[in-house]
Structure 1
């Protein structure tokens, strides 16, 4: 197992998960901001670990495996927390679509790797857009308050979640089409 800063940043995202849950349920006025900030930091480490691994030529098979696992875990936990708090059809449906897509694409990538066609389902630009929309949506929805009394972050979070959900479906269709052509 390789230990370098990019891999440690990925492990940090996984370590953030119990802290995110704790902050989400903590009954303090500052807790929603802390949870949203923690998730935002996790989003930055998602970008930073890959960037630094490429910059410092520290890419590894282990890092390539662990990075998407960490991403999917923290996003799934944040979505599940929101479903529990909100209990509405829109967040529940978006959560089912996003988590379902991640399971389908993970299985598809494994299947394609076994058949020697892993590159056919490599991460595409639309997947990066989806991830960005998810991170923004989840930061805003975890905070769940109006910022400075004028910026309705919850509503913006719902819009970003809708965009992320559409991009999730779109990217899944693209990955499936690429895979079945192979």
Structure 2
């Protein structure tokens, strides 16, 4: 039952991951940011509905169980690569991104090593919350990137003292102050959410490692 609707939704999410790269290669910003946001939100929605529909219609399959976590990780990893690059390797973004990427690689390695016993590393409820937190954080950061680029185009060509005056309120700003506040509010919200996702990611990674530890010890 590979070509069931739930599996097709999962495959669309998988192919949407490299689509993020294509967007930023062939579209100018902030259009690329907004389209990437829409694509990412669409992929996140399918992450819920593919599993829900598979259970509702009795269409759960080994193929779906295999490809679903791969699609999730592909979306998150590729999105984080672009976000860290677009942020100029800002440590508030880079450090939680590194923690997330390290954990995903570590757990994937654990599952590969355990082989047939990897079933003991079943996805937990907290791990599902982790994935949700990652996707929400990434969506907010994509929106933040679009707002920031829009703000930058507004101040492009303005003299620095004019911009400072607008932000200080001594020069009529024509909405520039609110755009500046929206830019920083969205960025810090995205960064905070990414740190929350990173903490959940590390906690679930430790939980998986703890469960796998008895299988990693040398025989007596």
What's the TM-score once normalised by structure 1's chain length?
A: 0.89
Do the aligned partners of 2:140 and 2:190 also contact (CA within 8 Å) in 1? Answer: yes
CA distance in 1, matches of 2:111, 2:30: 42
Partner residue of 1:109?
111
**Bigger Rg, which one:** 2
Q: Partner of 2:204 in structure 1?
A: 171
What are the residue-to-residue correspondences of 1:27-66 with 2, within 5 Å? 27-66=28-67
Alignment of 1:97-176 (within 5 A): 97-114=99-116, 117-144=117-144, 145=147, 149=179, 152-176=185-209
Residues 18, 78 of structure 2: 8 Å contact kept = no
Number of matched pairs: 180
Q: Taking structure 2 as the reference length, what is the TM-score of the superposition?
A: 0.75
Note the residue ranges of structure 1 that are not aligned, 5 or more in a row: none
Give me the whole-angstrom Cα distance separating, in 2, the residues matched to 1:24 and 1:132.
Answer: 24
CA-atom RMSD in angstroms: 2.1
Counterpart Cα distance in 1 of 2:30 and 2:127: 34
